[in-house]
Structure 1
């Protein structure tokens, strides 16, 4: 007789679905995680679970969520993972679990700007006002808009990700609206047909709703106004949760915001001089913000920023009053008016929030000199998550690498939270070697970069290419490329050469090619098999000491800041980088860390313990022998 508990039901379902996989494998960690997730959902307790590469964590949280019968939101760190769930994992589960009596309805929900706006398309087709807008666009943009309109007439979702071609940003912006602009489906004549509203309606009736973590953060910041009611939330790749919440529940004011506002207002208000006062805010704020680039600011804000924001508030008020005063019976014009009012109101809210920021917020200026932006982030995301998430939902936080301080940093209540590590199915002791180059100088030494190049040359030759070299700065990467390229017999690709998807594909398609990249590729690169046998990391990836937000959080923590912020962040990012190496049971290779602090610093074991349990060496000769053995084993003659 079957045990009726939630865990038993989930394990039974997991066994059925994994048996249907083309290459079914026994994964004890996957079963353990499934059991933990099922128990957490049944008891209403939060779970933080580290599930190493190869565990199969996606099925381990989806199956018990579905068998629990509770509505679940899955928040992924990237749109790529969101699309994988939508196109692969959930359709597979829906088919397999239906045979066990579990009917599954699921939906993908993205931000409004991901969907084509039918009302904007309709407006663009009007011979009078629409033609005026089209006249401002290039001939290429006009052709793109026509092509988008044809596609929208055939599409069921209106989701840009489903297009077989990529329109320019200008063309897409002309036929889409963001949440700061859209007045809502109930106030739009195309609300019933609206693709974004249709996606929301599907989500309202679905058992599993897939979003990205950024959209979930906007939901939290809005007080729960974006997503439907749900019982369970799963944060996949949870190591980015604190940063994503900092970005989404705070305030972001860029000069470009006011260019967008003026463009939206200009479609309704025929007063170039008045509308121009909004567009003129862009160079004004760019100048003021750039004076404080990468600075953590005081509260209240510095006087020059305060003056500029108060000026912005005054100009927005005047334009808002002018828009409000115009009455029209033309439906398309009404929609233009509503969108203009929404944009003005949202911008006013952002300006007001920045001007009134208190001690629980951290204002700072980020970006580049030509595109600075004012950000106001919460000093601590725990309170907002506590008020809007932890008390209302059961949360599952999972990642291949979970920072030791994660639960505390995001404010999870200790009495309702269980933490676990279900390991990885890979035999890292046999499959991988961790090399710490103890003979290297300290990273601050003027000799460090040249010796990094020397190490790379020796290691790459031993590996026969097949190397992913990761650097903590663009300058370090560029120096290494210049020093190494003419000294080795295999080609090098760099992160400057191609967009990320094309770059990874080019690397994966050529066994001998090396890829030199920066921290943007410490995670999200999946190249199993012979192509990748060596991962080299130049330095321990500590966050910048002058990062304004982290600086404020360090001040709050005092003496414990380094161990609670810097070491966990470096450990997690390094572990993510190490995770690029072993992707299947058959993979073998070396992770080489060229920073001697990994073997000498007082915090070294905190970092080493966060890494996969690879066999370790300090001798380059051991590494070269291991790599040459791999190359020989995998050569055509050997096979």
Structure 2
């Protein structure tokens, strides 16, 4: 090892820093470690994280995560010594002082991969040559272990298969499915030897109604089903859904809120279709365009569009794209930790986040991952999507020929929030500058392949005089939008153009009226009521500028539709697809500008009872980063019902907390059911878990609110008492960071690792993977972890919340609170959040744990959020620590033996799915 790779290995943690060489391992101070790392390439595992712990942001070297991404693209690995040991077959290091030497052994094991049966060999040599030119630290080492291929190897763009266009799928047949068939299908999915679950069988039977024929237009068969954890609702709805798809010849769209559940659902469909090829045709996962790698952007990056470290990322992503199942960069088979190793804007530049797709004008159109997913879903039986994509497709009229007629909305308690985001309007500086770039294209000093309307539609402009004039008018009108440097000009009091003048007036009025903690670095907002003279005067010219833009956009859309109808000789299949894509994009942009005009009309005029309007200045660390006007529906379930539900024939909306701490009327209000003429069917299945013996709720009464030191002490003592396995939840990022800073070293001295969202430079999904993989680890986080973590087993045995999760008193919340019953509305939100947080704790029949709330002010009326029968006690911190220390767990020397069973032995239900590591 020392002869061929004479580099030391470095490991930095909260408990110390170690350097290992062929001569041995020694502990060093921070200064010496930084000096060594600055002078000598060092082997590390996650250089960004190690650099943060060293206080040396420029740490670089030979990162084993990058080597793994190169050698094993599209493979999963938990980015920890434990995960590295698993993929290399080495013994897991137990103590921190063993890890640096372990990294040397792991390097040898990984570099031996090319010598064996290496399934990702093709393309590696070519990629290694490109990485060598970029001076990737691993390139010289890798070159010694990869032989030059005897024949020219196919690389990314030549290896990717082309998708094929098929005939439109016929409309689904009108059929009914009966209970007996559904129960037979459920038995096949769960296994005949599985434990009988009456709740699951009743759930599957209740779900049948969503797949019955619709009798009245705009009146879908809607089923609201609240199924407690452990019922097995996933297989419960997949049984009737797959049966209907098979018999009717249609697709059922299963929509989730989180990417984690999408991934879990895809894994669960193995029960439906065990054969991989059959499953690939029958089950398709769909996400928004911004999730997939854009091959044109990637090609641009590989050909010099990226420089430095970003160019290395592009090469590693290209390696991955050649072996990826679906090209999904966010939650797919691209390791979530890979983009975090590089600068922030590198990964986003490889996806289509600006709506710049040129469709058939792209040379990689026939190999595009996005287009392949869209066409595959048209022929699939089960499409696993998400709430946002479902709403976007419905609202913007996308894929009308394959619009689904049956939906299952899992995580249905999030429909309200998803609709709130989808159907909102934001006239901000960032939004207008993006529109300007989309219309105008590259301006002076800008880089990249961004192209404006004129470049994207040059052939149309040369063919159609009216279209050319509309393009020219749109480009001219777009000059009135915000431009690069707009924030600096506003700060200097020198806005340029009508939109920047409007934003300056918004900023002035918001700063004058906002009463929140603006000086602490947080955003400011105020109602759009009683505007001052400056805002009223700025609204008119801004509206005129937007009107001058929307008119040519609409005219251009009409001209493109006319070109499609005329079908000139140059309009071949690819050109037609490109023009159709442009029509859809123009329609979306025109609708956006029209919504902005409607919002501007509100300034100085009467308020609409359907909307909540306000002004906002978004800030981070005391600096403005966006400014604008905002409009949200008071009840976003109304547009959801109009655009999605009323177009469907049936919909099942399900969740473990569907009623959100209230009654069925709350569930109907938040899912859009009360906007339908046909009442929704209701079903409830109580969790089969014995919460009385498996869990307890402890409300700590002696941690003073606002005392950060006392709060940190409480977290540290509870985590130590539990031996790790703790999910710590916060309502404010700054308190999370303050607590982490105080307890990380303290826990490390006890041999307990601490992970933290918003602190560690690791994506949330990877943080959960690490937490799941190490029973001695604890994890701190905010809302995303409260609602989206599934960690069954001993890795999560304690949930600690810093206080009652009251909603933030925003302008939008105030309006909804007033309309929703005042304090009762707040109580419903809090009960729903507590129920979701508690739901992280018990995920299967043999789980045990405690839920601790560090708030003496917890009102008794909110205790209904917890399952009936669970013991609830108000105790001191000392008593809580004593009770937590008695939690059932199997811990040896501070670490737990890993449970590798991979699933629930009963063979059915969600908990069998949820306990599996992410694929």
1:252 to 411, 421, 426: 426
Rounded Cα–Cα distance in structure 1 between residues aligned with 2:740 and 2:350: 42
- Given the alignment, which residue of 685, 690, 695 partners 1:432? 695
SS at match of 2:787: coil
Distance 1:475 1:241 in 2: 28
| 8 A Cα contact 2:394 2:643, kept in partner | yes
| Change in 2 beyond 3 A, CA 1:466/1:308 | farther
- List alignment gaps of at least 5 residues for structure 1: 126-130
More divergent stretch after superposition (400-409 vs 238-247): 400-409
The equivalent residue for 1:539 is 803
Shift in Å, 1:516: 2.8
C-alpha deviation, 1:430, in angstroms: 0.7
TM-score (norm 2): 0.58
1:216-235 equivalence runs, <5 A: 216-223=390-397, 228-235=402-409
The answer on 1:627 being equivalent to 2:884 is yes
Work out the CA distance in 1 between the residues paired with 2:807 and 2:556.
46
Q: Structure 1 residues 345 and 418, CA, compared in 2 at 3 Å: closer, same or farther?
A: closer
Equivalent of residue 410 in structure 1, options 671, 686, 693: 671
- Give the CA deviation at 1:205: 2.1
Corresponding residue for 1:503?
A: 767
Quote how far apart the aligned CAs of 1:554 are: 2.4
Q: Does 1:562 align with 2:823?
A: yes
Find out whether 1:581 has 2:841 as its counterpart: yes
Give the SS at the match of 1:523.
helix
Q: Aligned with 1:435: secondary structure?
A: strand
Kept after mapping to 2: 8 A contact 1:181/1:340: no
**SS of match in other structure, 2:271:** helix
TM-aligned CA deviation for residue 505 of structure 1:
3.5
TM-score (norm 1): 0.80
Alpha-carbon distance in 2 for matches of 1:299, 1:289: 13
* Contact 1:40–1:46 (Cα < 8 Å) also in 2: yes
User: Do the aligned partners of residues 213 and 273 (structure 1) sit closer, same or farther apart at CA in structure 2, a change above 3 Å counting?
Assistant: closer
Deviations 1:23-72 (A, max 9, x none): x4443332221121124433763222222223222111111111123531
Superposed CA deviations along residues 554-588 of structure 1, whole A, max 9, x for unmatched, are 2334xx1332x322221111111112222222221
Would the aligned equivalents of 1:111 and 1:178 in 2 still touch at CA under 8 Å? no
CA distance in structure 2 between the partners assigned to 1:142 and 1:40 by the alignment: 49
Does residue 112 (structure 1) correspond to residue 376 (structure 2)? The answer is: no
Task: State how 1:12-51 maps to structure 2 within 5 Å.
Answer: 12-19=184-191, 24-42=194-212, 45-51=221-227
User: 1:462: Cα distance to partner?
Assistant: 3.2
CA RMSD of aligned residues (A): 4.5
**2-side partners of 1:80 and 1:49: how far apart?**
21
Residue 455 of structure 1, CA deviation: 3.8
Deviation string for 1:126-176 (max 9, x for gaps)? xxxxx9xx7664355456556666766776744433446548775565564
Answer whether contact 2:177 2:243 (CA < 8 A) is retained: no
Partner Cα distance (1:226, 1:439) in 2: 59
In the alignment, what sits opposite 1:128? none
* Structure 1 residues 449 and 304: CA distance shift in structure 2, 3 A: farther
Say if 1:257 and 1:340 are closer, same or farther in 2 by CA, change over 3 A: farther
Aligned to 1:206: 380
State the Cα deviation string for residues 307-366 of structure 1 (Å, max 9, x = none): 5743652674699799999x9x99999999998897676444323212214442223345
Classify 1:542/1:611 alpha carbon distance in 2 versus 1 (closer, same or farther; 3 Å).
Answer: farther
Q: Does the C-alpha gap of structure 1 residues 612 and 633 become closer, same or farther in structure 2, counting only changes over 3 Å?
A: farther
Q: Which residue in 1 is equivalent to 2:731?
A: 472
Q: Which residue of 2 aligns with 1:280?
A: 483
Q: Are the equivalent residues in 2 in contact too, given 1:309–1:351 (CA < 8 A)?
A: no
Q: Distance in 1 between matches of 2:571 and 2:308?
A: 28
Once the 2 structures are TM-superposed, how far is the Cα of residue 119 of structure 1 from its aligned partner?
6.0
1:618 aligns to 2:884 (yes or no):
no
8 Å CA contact retained: 1:460, 1:467? yes
Name the CA distance, whole Å, in 2 between partners of 1:599 and 1:383: 32
Q: Secondary structure at the match of 1:356?
A: helix
Structure 1 or 2, whichever has the larger Rg, is 2
Relative to 1, partners in 2 of residues 1:461 and 1:209: Cα closer, same or farther, differing over 3 Å?
Answer: closer
Greater mean deviation of Cα atoms: 253-262 or 337-346: 337-346
1:295 pairs, out of 510, 526, 533, with: 526
Aligned to 1:382: 637
Residue 450 (structure 1) shift: 5.0
Secondary structure, counterpart of 2:228 in structure 1: coil
Maintained 8 Å contact 1:300/1:355: no
Q: Measured at CA, do residues 321 and 28 of structure 1 come closer, stay the same or move farther in structure 2, by a change above 3 Å?
A: closer
Counterpart check, 1:10 vs 2:182: yes
Q: Per-residue deviation at 1:390? A: 3.1
* Preserved contact between residue 181 and residue 342 of structure 1 (Cα < 8 Å): no
Q: Structure 1 pair 82/515, CA: closer, same or farther in 2 (3 Å)?
A: closer
Is 1:399 the counterpart of 2:655? The answer is yes
* Runs of at least 5 residues in structure 2 that lack an aligned partner in the other structure: 1-175, 215-220, 442-450, 456-471, 488-499, 511-523, 564-569, 600-607, 898-919
d(CA) in 1 for partners of 2:189 and 2:580? 49
**Number of equivalences:** 610
2:811 matched residue in structure 1? 548
Give the 3 Å change call, closer, same or farther, for CA 312–116 of structure 1 in structure 2. Answer: farther
1:423 is aligned to 686
Counterpart Cα distance in 1 of 2:889 and 2:368: 59
Residue 92 of structure 1 corresponds to: 271
